Amino acid sequence: MISSRVIIAVLYVLLAPFVIGLLDGFDRKISARMQGRKGPSVLQPFFDLKKLFEKEFLTANKTQLFMIYSYVFFIILSGVIFYAGFDLLLVVFSLSTAAMFLILASTSTHSPYSAQGTHRELVQIMSCEPMELLVAVGFYLATKTFNVSEVVANSVNSNIIYLPGFFVGFVFILTIKFRKSPFDIATSHHAHQEVIKGVTSEMVGKEYGMVTLAEWYENAILLGIVGLFFLNSNPVSFVGAIIAILVVWFLEILIDNTSARVKWQLMLKLAWGVTIVAAGMNLFLLEIIMG
Amino acid sequence: MEMLVTALICLPFLWAILPAVIHNSKCRAFFVYLGCGIVIALSVFTAVQWFLAGGQTLNFDLPYRETFDHVILFGDLFLMCLITYLSFKYKKGVISLLAIVQTLLVAALELFGPEVEELPALRFDWLTFVMILIIGVVGSLIGIYAVGYMHGYHIHHHKELTDRRSFFLAMIFVFFGAMFGLVFSQSLIWMYFFWEITSVTSFLLIGYTRSDEAINNSFKALWMNLLGGCGIAAAIAVGILAWNTVNLYEIIDLAIAAPKALYLLPIGCLAFAALTKSAQFPFSGWLLGAMVAPTPSSALLHSATMVKAGVYLLIRISAAMADNYVGNMVALIGGFTFLAASCFAITVSDGKKVLAYSTISNLGLIVACTGCGYEETIWAAVFLVIFHAVSKSMLFQCVGAIENTTGSRDVEDMQGLMAIFPKLAVILMIGIAGMFLAPFGMLISKWAALKAFIDTSSVYVSTLMVLFICFGSATTMFYWTKWLSKILGASPKEKTRDLTKKNEYISMFFHAIMMVALILGFPWLSEHVLKPLSNDMFGTVDQVISYQNMIIMIVLLVGIFVVPCFNYFLTKGQKAKQVITYMGGANVGDNFNFVSSTGEPKEMHIANFYMDEIMGEKKLFTPAIMISTFIIIVYMIIVIGGAF
């Protein structure tokens, strides 16, 4: 049991970038097809990353680099806590600590565009955090434990049947977390727009490479949480979890390609509104049922 | 032990006379330092003695109990006269009515009421142990800081004000004495007396400058706290008339045995009093108004004393609040305050005001924990009290020092503080980190609090509390992180002379060291202090937080110190080409100016988000007051109505 948990955690550290990088490649391909273009090779994200690490190291403030290293470290640590099956609430706390390092890295340059992006990033974090915490609460209510490994082992049925509202809310904030349109307000894939590159504006070469890598690791955790809604003590549920992850992933691409960016005020209201309505109602009902 | 405790309570009161009568600045400073040193030494010595003796709960009396009883009765009447005189002097006579009613009620019951069973007046247990260390160490350090600060305040910055430093420093000592008395008392009459002293002293400290604003705010603080005092007076009345006792612990035991009807009424009254003292909504106004006073008194009110008296009382009675109406009221008010105050903290840019709102918000979390009344939440509450006292005292001192040095305490003006005043910036950062960052107090406490709230039996309260905590932590993260991000980075200003006095630095560095020690020592603290504490209260010895989670938290904790340092040295030697930031091609040649539309260079100012339109004070303050007043009134009606 313990050895399998260690193996999963090690696999996460080794494989997450490849899996998520590949998903990113398919994402670009599918997006291109939706827009009537041919699109790049599915391996393009890896080529991009390689190129970033080969560039000359330019920086506006050298302290930025160590903050980014710390950011990467805490993201990976959160992932290890999650995939090794420890406390889900601590995963969320650790992720927000990591996010803080990204914020500090970005503002340390005193650059107008990265400052604007940073504050929007802060609004994004504020929009998402209640839902992330509530997901942990939901699992605790359904299974009486915050422990990821026990959540899986103790569930006879997949927890999605108790937590549909939490799932809806979580998928909603995933759009923000993945920086997908309509909530790509803190940074953008298209540097000619008003935010330039927002929070990553002043990150060049390997700094930007590290941030990309960290985001891949983070996305692996988030998709893992999506999977957790479907996992139960029966190993077959693993297939269901994979399918669910792929469906959610495709849904995010679809949303990305069919919506236009909103202002941060609207994002905050929408995210909190959905959190209160979907997760709040689910929480209330679940408390009554579990009494 | 009796002698030590007597000294601890009486000495600060007597020592207060020294700074009051000595007017030579140097000489007075010496006696204040000496006094603070003695208070620290005495409180630590008393605490350690008791700890080494095995940490047994002690019930005892001061020598000459009779005399002290008389002193307290006369003290009560004296305070009443003082309040009456001052409120008529400043044409706010109505306020004196609050004081007269409650004091006469207590005095009359004591003199003419039924005979009360004579029990020891004082008690020393684990919670007292924690509190005397906080009051003694953190409080006295503020006293040391105050000497240097007040010197600069009058000599350099506010020459127009009357120099009443003697009075100010004397009041600080009176505050220590009253707080020590408060946390030792088990007789409600004694507690009431010390409670009133803290109310009056804080009123006098807030009104220190005697400006119109200061006078208005000080009276606001006075009436709110007197209203709370009425709660204690009511609890005393119920205790004497119904059960012939004024002993806090007997009243608590009665309420635990039968948590309904009349038994709950005194607990409700005490909780109400504690809510006013700990500045929860709708009584937050007084603590916000207290900002007008010089920084040391803010630090004192916000960290080691005053507001901590409120949460201290709540922690005391929390076992009697588990899963009943009083507990629900306290939890809801606390949770609501946690969320609302942190929203307001986002919208203000005055550094001291951010700190004030963060105090209210953090106390809200503590209050919510006590209202829940479970073992986990008390564990969390005590941890929060400790962490909050140290980091908030440090933050106030630091903002005060920054204001003295740079001339502004606005967060917007702290851009790149790291580059100009690195020492102050580091202290500020440790303080901020102590308030919210993952591995510190907030994390452990939030973890325990969330878990306990999910398990709370009332479905409505449980759902609401979970939502309050989840949203409140998001908003808390926002305002601290944006402040933190201001401090780092480059500054457009030139380096100037640091005007901070040596004794101010001594106090601040000592706080920083304490903070780090607390963080590293938290497993020890949990095992050897908090475990016996909850054992005392609940009679169980469960480990609140699992061994596994303890390990993860330590990893996170070490990570937050070690990883950035390690990375810093790792990346230090790396060669990088220095470039300027991107400004759409409008750079002048550095990162601080841009070419404006007229072709002239113009300084660029980067401002934080304040979200005034979404959650500003103007928009939401009144609704927040109304909602919280509604909650209190409804629950108090249920509690009082249930009693008859």
For residue range A66-109, what is the model confidence (pLDDT) as tens digits? 889 999 999 999 999 999 999 998 899 889 889 989 999 998 88
**Amino acid in position B220:** K
Every domain of chain B and the residues it spans: 2-566+609-643
pLDDT at B132 over 80: yes
Length of chain B: 644
Q: Per the structure block, which two tokens stand in for B24?
A: 């030579």
Is pLDDT at B356 greater than 60 in this prediction?
A: yes
User: How many residue pairs from chains A and B have C-beta atoms closer than 8 A?
Assistant: 197
- Within 8 A of A115 by CB-CB distance, chain B residues are 606
pLDDT of residue B442: 66
pLDDT higher than threshold 80 for residue A291: no
Which chain A positions have a beta carbon within 8 Å of B451's beta carbon?
140, 146
Whether pLDDT at B438 is above 60: no
Give the pLDDT score at A90: 87
pLDDT category of residue B425 using cuts at 50, 70 and 90: very high
d(CA B290, CA B204): 11
pLDDT band, very low/low/confident/very high, at A170 (cuts 50, 70, 90): very high
Q: How far apart are CA B59 and CA B149, in angstroms?
A: 40
Q: What is the pLDDT of residues B547-582, one digit of tens each?
A: 777 777 777 777 777 788 888 888 777 777 888 888
Give dist(CA A101, CA A283) in Å, integer. 32
**Interface probe with B: pick from A110, A129, A200, most Cβ of B within 10 Å:** A110
Residue with tokens 């810093």: B568
Mean pLDDT, to the nearest integer, of B172-198?
A: 94
Quote the minimal CA–CA distance from B348 to chain A in Å. Answer: 16
Strand B577-578 relative to strand A58-59: parallel, antiparallel, unpaired? parallel
Q: Of B413, B392, B391, which Cα lies nearest the Cα of B402?
A: B413
Alpha-carbon distance of B628 to B340, in angstroms, equals 10
From chain B, the residues in CB contact with A86 under 8 A are 548-549, 552
**Is residue B601 predicted with pLDDT exceeding 90?**
no
pLDDT at A41: 94
Minimal CA–CA distance to A84: which of A72, A76, A93?
A76
Report the range out of B156-165, B406-415, B533-542 with the highest average pLDDT: B406-415
When scoring B346, B471, B548, B575 by the number of chain A Cβ atoms within 10 A, the one with the most, hence best to mutate, is: B471
**Band (B521; pLDDT cuts 50, 70, 90):** confident
The stretch B584-603 carries a mean pLDDT of 83
Cα gap B552→B542, rounded to integer Å: 19
Nearest Cα residue in chain B from A202: B581
B439 pLDDT exceeds 60? no
Q: Which of B443, B474, B490 sits opposite A130 (nearest CB)?
A: B474
B428 phi and psi angles, rounded to 5 deg: -60, -40
Alpha carbon distance A148, A219 (integer Å): 17
Q: Which residues of B fall within a CB distance of 8 Å from A70?
A: 563-564, 567
**Token pair for A4:** 């399998």
- pLDDT confidence tier of residue B468, bands split at 50, 70 and 90: very high
B597 pLDDT band (50/70/90 cuts)?
A: confident
CA distance B35 to B172: 11
Shortest Cα–Cα distance, A265 to chain B (Å) = 8
Return d(Cα B282, Cα B323) in angstroms, integer. Answer: 23
Residues of A in contact with B576 (CB under 8 A): 57-59, 62, 65
**Residue B507: CB partners within 8 Å, gap ≥ 6?**
B141, B142, B144, B145, B397
Contacts of A30 (CB under 8 A, 6+ apart): A39, A250, A253
Angle at A123 (CA atoms; ends A118, A125), nearest 5 degrees = 90
Which chain A residue has the Cα nearest residue B483?
A104
Question: pLDDT for B277-298, tens place per residue?
Answer: 999 999 999 999 998 899 999 8
Q: Count CA within 13 A, CB hemisphere, residue A30.
A: 16
Rounded CA separation B625/B577 (Å): 55
Q: In Å, how far are A289, B401, B417, B567 from B498, measured between CA atoms?
A: 61, 9, 12, 30
Q: Across the interface, do B459 and A69 touch by the CB < 8 Å criterion?
A: no
Of B369, B358, B382, B283, nearest to B330 by C-alpha is B369
**Which positions 208-247 of A are in contact with B (Cβ < 8 Å)?**
none
Average pLDDT over every residue of B98-115 = 90
Mean pLDDT of A10-29: 96
Summarised one tens digit per residue, pLDDT across range A234-275 is 999 999 999 999 999 999 999 999 998 899 999 999 999 999
The residue to which tokens 């603080």 are assigned:
B221
Token pair 């032990």: residue: B1
- pLDDT digits over B139-178, tens only? 999 999 999 888 888 887 788 888 889 999 999 999 999 9
CA distances to A81, B182, B637 from A96, in Å: 14, 39, 42
Predicted confidence (pLDDT) at residue A185 exceeds the cutoff of 90: no
**pLDDT reported for residue B541:** 63
Taking an 8 Å cut-off on Cβ atoms, the answer to whether A58 and B478 are in contact is no
Looking at residue B211, the DSSP 8-state letter turns out to be -
pLDDT score at B546: 74
CA atoms within 13 A on the CB side of B215: 10
- How many angstroms separate the CA atoms of A114 and A105, rounded? 10
pLDDT, tens digit (0-9, with 9 covering 90-100), for B54-63: 888 888 888 8
pLDDT of residue B542: 67
| DSSP 8-class letter at B318 | G
Greater pLDDT, B531 or A151: A151
Whether A205 has its CB under 8 Å from any CB of chain B: the answer is no
The set of residues, in sequence order, having a beta carbon less than 8 Å from that of B422 and lying 6+ positions away, is none
What percentage of chain B carries pLDDT values higher than 90?
A: 50
Instruction: Give residue-wise pLDDT tens across range B241-275.
Output: 988 889 999 999 999 888 777 888 999 999 999 99
Q: Of B165, B205, B206, B170, which is closest to residue B13 (Cα–Cα)?
A: B170
Give the C-alpha separation, B566 to B576, whole Å. Answer: 19
What average pLDDT does this structure show over B503-520?
88
In whole angstroms, what separates CA A31 from the centre of its chain? 19
Lowest-confidence range among A117-121, A198-202, B25-29?
A198-202
Chain B residues close to A136, C-beta within 8 Å: 450
Say if residue B482's pLDDT is above 80.
yes
CB contact under 8 Å between A86 and B548, yes or no, is yes
Contact criterion met (CB below 8 Å) for B368 and B349? no
In percent, how much of chain B has pLDDT > 70? Answer: 98
The DSSP 8-state label assigned to residue B589 in this structure reads: S
| Alpha-carbon distance values, B57 to B26, B253, B588 (Å) | 42, 16, 70
Looking at beta carbons, which residues of chain B come within 8 Å of A100?
Answer: 437, 477, 481, 484
> Which residue in A has a C-alpha nearest to residue B549's C-alpha?
A87
Least confident of A160-164, B40-44, B216-220, B572-576: B572-576
Supply the pLDDT for residue B544. Answer: 67
Query: How far off is chain A from B608, nearest CA to CA, in Å?
Result: 7
Could you say which of A90, A104, A126 has the minimum Cβ distance to residue B475?
A126
